[in-house]
Amino acid sequence: MDENRQSIRTQLQPGEVLLWEGAPERGIHFQRSDLLAIPFSLLWCGFAIFWEIGVIAAGGPLLFKIWGIPFVLMGLYITVGRFFFRARKLAQTRYAATDRRVIIADRRETVFLPYGQIPLLQKEVRASGTGTIWFQSPTSCGAGKHRHRVPGVGFEEIADAEKVYRIIEGQMLHS
Could you state, in order of their start, the residue ranges of all structural domains in the chain? Answer: 3-24+95-174, 34-86
Q: Does domain 3-24+95-174 have CATH number 2.30.29?
A: yes
pLDDT number for residue 78: 86
Q: pLDDT tens for residues 13-61?
A: 999 999 999 999 887 767 666 777 888 889 999 999 999 999 999 999 9
Q: Which of 33-37, 49-53, 68-72, 140-144 has the lowest mean pLDDT?
A: 140-144
| pTM above threshold 0.85 | no
| Those residues with Cβ within 8 angstroms of residue 40's Cβ, 6 or more apart along the chain or in another chain | 78
pLDDT number for residue 150: 47
Cα–Cα distances in angstroms (integers) from residue 174 to residues 21, 30, 101, 154, 169, in the given order: 20, 34, 12, 20, 9
Q: What is the spatial distance between Cα 29 and Cα 141, in angstroms, rounded to a whole number?
A: 25
